[in-house]
Amino acid sequence: MNDLGLPNPELLHARGEEQKVFHENAAQAVRSHFGPNVFVRAVVEISNYCRENCAYCGMRRSNKALKRFRIQADQLAELLIHHRPASVTDVNIQAGEDPIAVREVAIPLIRALRRETQLGISVCLGSLSQNLYAELKEAGATLYIIKFETANPARYAEMESPGTFTARIENIRNLAANGWRISSGFIAGLPGHTNEDLLKNFALARDLPLDGCSVSPFIPGDETPLSTAPLGDIDLTLNCMAALRLMRPGWVIPSVSALNLAEPGSGYCRSLRTGANLVTINLTPSEVRGDYLLYKRDRFIMTEERILSAIAAEGLTASKQSLAEFYSARKVNGSHVPAARDLVVQKPASC
Ligand code: SAM
């Protein structure tokens, strides 16, 4: 890190021994804050309707070939209340930008989960009105996931990312000012991106009121104008992740499913050695998963078995504490001390 708390630009392109040491430092930073604990959440993708037109995303409104769906709240409530995997402590509710799904699916689902379970609840539902944000919060969600995608406003506009760059950043600040915990993020390797763009992502992440941040490799998505663009580089993405971890050792940094597409078989596990401390089990009903077209129609679904074996392979353990509990403990204490019961290392398995 330099004097401004930003990563050294050369390190973002490190390879070989230099990269190994860099990643080990990031892994050490996350372990010294969180011990061997990795948060385990579930995601449910409730709607693929989207009023936005992001060039990188298959759910963009111009994709007329996509069969659109909205799931019933009670179907998901039944699944999450009675049939969720035992390791799940939190649920993330995600969708295209679809205010109807927010009203008709997300809010009733959050109310049911709040009534019936202790699950922490996060949402990733895009840029919405202040009223909808307030209703989501009142229903019981505490963490909002809203990525800034790229810190370069011109690239943001060129990619037709949601609304305007200025409004997205204002949204992030307003949500935080209204008591939400915020996780943001950016895409590494967006077509046309420069080294300068890459560094700007860190300066923006550093300056925003965030509790966590992700970095995802760019995936040339099926049925998008960028389907033939080059895939984001896995090493660059993991170097960005390590740099985020060293910049903010106390952040929650997710291991995103796109890592499996950028480096099939090992991308996901490598992120657990590079500073990630949150994994996600996909519980979207199988009949609609293929139409939640984030990247490719052929999705690599992270099941509980895959997630737990990836965690165990790295000698880590599934956190018993939910993300929501972690954040509220931090609010009171100012820093997080892992509970002794969480500090049990499982026997390594294969990844
Ligand atoms: N609609 C909501 C929003 O805009 O925040 C949430 C869902 S959106 C589909 C989730 C995230 O997927 C986006 O913020 C973007 O970073 C990511 N994404 C979509 N397509 C991608 C691609 N081809 N490569 C990498 N990330 C992508």
pLDDT at 265: 85
More confident residue, 91 or 3: 91
232 pocket-lining for ligand 1 (C-beta < 6 Å)? no
29 pocket-lining for ligand 1 (C-beta < 6 Å)? no
97 pocket-lining for ligand 1 (C-beta < 6 Å)? yes
pLDDT at 351: 54
* pTM for this predicted structure: 0.94
pLDDT at 332: 54
How many A from CA of 302 to the centre of ligand 1? 17
pLDDT over 70 (residue 143): yes
Out of 102-106, 136-140, 157-161, 266-270, least confident range: 266-270
Q: What value does the mean pLDDT take over residues 8-20?
A: 95
By most ligand atoms within 8 Å of CB, the mutation choice from 45, 53, 187 for ligand 1 is 187
Residue 14 CA to residue 11 CA, distance in Å, equals: 5
Do 278 and 41 contact (CB within 8 A), yes or no? yes
The backbone torsions φ and ψ at residue 92, rounded to the nearest 5 degrees and listed phi first, read -110, 125
Which of 333, 279, 288, 314 lies closest to 90 in space, CA to CA?
Answer: 279
Q: Is residue 331 very low, low, confident or very high in pLDDT (cuts 50, 70, 90)?
A: low
What is the percent of the chain with per-residue pLDDT over 90, rounded to a whole number? 86
156 pocket-lining for ligand 1 (C-beta < 6 Å)? no
pLDDT at 152: 97
Mean pLDDT value across the chain: 92
pLDDT over 90 (residue 24): yes
pLDDT at 294: 86
Strands 181-188 and 120-124: unpaired
Cβ density class 18-56: b for 16+ within 10 Å, e for less: ebeebbeebbebbeebbbbbbbbbbbbbbbbbbebbbbb
Q: What value does the mean pLDDT take over residues 28-36?
A: 97
